[in-house]
Structure 1
Amino acid sequence: MSVPGKKVAVITGASQGIGAALVVAYGKLGYAVVATSRSIAPVPDPDVLAVRGDIADPSTAERVAAAAVERFGRIDTLVNNAGIFIAKPFTEYTRDDYEAATGVNLAGFFRITQLAVEQMLRQGSGHLVQISTSLADHADASVNSVLASLTKGGLQSATRALAIEYAARGIRSNAVALGVIKTRNSDAYGDSLARLHPLGRLGEVGDVVDAIVYLENAPFVTGEILHVDGGQSAGH
């Protein structure tokens, strides 16, 4: 049985990498967690509920939000972590690329956030966190990123709009804009990707988690796009 009265975090893209680390981090903060992704496995911890599904499908968002309220009674934080990054020259993007990126990055954000905000309004408080990229507001000639800029740039604007729309109703909205974070996929390109950052290294998953935990514990911060990018957005 979970502990009554715990705060509850919903985390998308939660089966690996940043998402999986956030499940652990929010648990350490004393939250119950609803974790969702297409491949997530059941978790024995009674304070972690895994819901499998494609967040680009609105029915997944409906199931996740309903499960959070049914199991834990509330939604205090939503971390929109699920995302797709496709690096190609603009004219080489295919229809499938476009639909994949907009499906996860935009549609996957839209419905789950609507449902979370509806619940937060009933509670009188809440926190939204979006995961973005520094490329959305600082293009780099060495990285082809129009689809990321189109979708994640939209999320950054929505983050600010939500912050203002709901500031007087107890709901905060923030984002973290990332540089390249070290993953299994980045290992083969480590040196070249590290050079994108003035600090000269790739980010660690822990760097991202620390930033989101900071935002969680910063009640006077809303509408913020917090750059976790090794100085990438500041210049070169």
Structure 2
Amino acid sequence: MGIEQKVAIITGASQGIGAALVQGFRDRNYRVVATARSIKPSGDDDVLAVPGDIADRATAERVVSQAVARFGRVDTLVNNAGIFVAKPFTQYTAEDYAAVMGTNVAGFFNITQLAIAEMEKQGSGHIVQITTTLVDHANSNVPSVLASLSKGGLNAATKSLAIEYAKRGIRVNAVAPGVIRSPMHPVSTHAELSALHPVGHMGEMSDIVDAVLYLEGASFVTGEILHVDGGQSAGH
């Protein structure tokens, strides 16, 4: 394998958008380190599956160290792992808070810190967070304070990191989706969820993959929060 073959780490990679991202990067001839709580070994020699809870720093350490040991480098990190709990604010429990902040914030912090340390060695890299359009477009029908607290923090951190590392060859961006058609949304909810978007339908997982891969190739784009939300952030 030539040194030019890049390596992407993708969190929350066992299903849904994460699994689609793994395939999207493989289609670009990237080698991929895929991590999730219950991810199965891959039959593809260029995909390394590392099981573990991303909220645990030991998982992040294992993912990055195995990426370097197996593939020799880390070029891209996609922080896709996330928990969304929609409840009225006063009904959130301490367990809800710990789970959301653990995965969405600590999970981001741990692996991003370690990945950037590797990227600095080669003077290049790209990090993408998957956040949510609800940060910029709150909806009383979708109570989501913990999502806004955690993913809004990631949007802010995206811009801060982009500026901190701009002259070191490391770009940092985010994709803020609307509701994406995936196994987590029962068919019975599709009409209601589609109506949330000005375009009248939900997004597809391929829309998020396309957005991430656009950012991956957009060498002059950093600090960007790219809304892939069917127009929600623009208004209604």
1-structure distance, mates of 2:160, 2:58: 25
Report the alpha carbon displacement of residue 43 of structure 1 after superposing the two structures with TM.
0.5
Q: Which amino acid aligns with 2:216?
A: E
Describe how 1:127-142 pairs up with structure 2 within 5 A: 127-142=126-141
Describe how 1:107-146 pairs up with structure 2 within 5 A: 107-146=106-145
1-structure distance, mates of 2:188, 2:135: 24
Q: Which amino acid aligns with 1:195?
A: A
Asked whether the 8 Å contact 1:12–1:82 carries over to 2, the reply is yes
* 1:205 is the counterpart of 2:189: no
Report the alpha carbon displacement of residue 197 of structure 1 after superposing the two structures with TM.
0.3
TM-align CA RMSD? 0.6
2-structure distance, mates of 1:157, 1:184: 29
Report the alpha carbon displacement of residue 57 of structure 1 after superposing the two structures with TM.
0.5
Q: Which residue in 1 is equivalent to 2:9?
A: 10
Q: Which residue in 1 is equivalent to 2:28?
A: 29
Question: How much identity, in percent, do the aligned residues show?
Answer: 66
Q: Which amino acid aligns with 2:225?
A: I
Describe how 1:1-236 pairs up with structure 2 within 5 A: 3-5=1-3, 6-186=5-185, 187-236=187-236
Stretches of structure 1 lacking an aligned partner (at least 5 in a row): none
Asked whether the 8 Å contact 2:7–2:71 carries over to 1, the reply is yes
1-structure distance, mates of 2:166, 2:17: 27
How many equivalent residue pairs? Answer: 234
1-structure distance, mates of 2:126, 2:65: 18
Asked whether the 8 Å contact 2:16–2:183 carries over to 1, the reply is no
Asked whether the 8 Å contact 1:13–1:82 carries over to 2, the reply is yes
Q: Which amino acid aligns with 1:216?
A: E
Report the alpha carbon displacement of residue 188 of structure 1 after superposing the two structures with TM.
2.3
1-structure distance, mates of 2:80, 2:53: 13
Report the alpha carbon displacement of residue 137 of structure 1 after superposing the two structures with TM.
1.5
Q: Which amino acid aligns with 2:140?
A: A
1-structure distance, mates of 2:15, 2:177: 17
Report the alpha carbon displacement of residue 141 of structure 1 after superposing the two structures with TM.
1.3
Asked whether the 8 Å contact 2:124–2:170 carries over to 1, the reply is yes
1-structure distance, mates of 2:215, 2:171: 10
- TM-score scaled by length of structure 1: 0.98
Asked whether the 8 Å contact 1:4–1:72 carries over to 2, the reply is no
Stretches of structure 2 lacking an aligned partner (at least 5 in a row): none
Secondary structure, aligned partner of 2:130: strand
Secondary structure, aligned partner of 1:10: strand
Report the alpha carbon displacement of residue 185 of structure 1 after superposing the two structures with TM.
2.5
2-structure distance, mates of 1:42, 1:15: 10
Deviates more, 1:133-142 or 1:94-103: 133-142
Secondary structure, aligned partner of 2:32: strand
2-structure distance, mates of 1:183, 1:27: 21
Secondary structure, aligned partner of 1:233: helix
Spell out, residue by residue over 1:41-69, the C-alpha distance to the aligned partner (whole angstroms, 9 max, x if none). 00011110000000000000000000000
Q: Which amino acid aligns with 2:43?
A: P
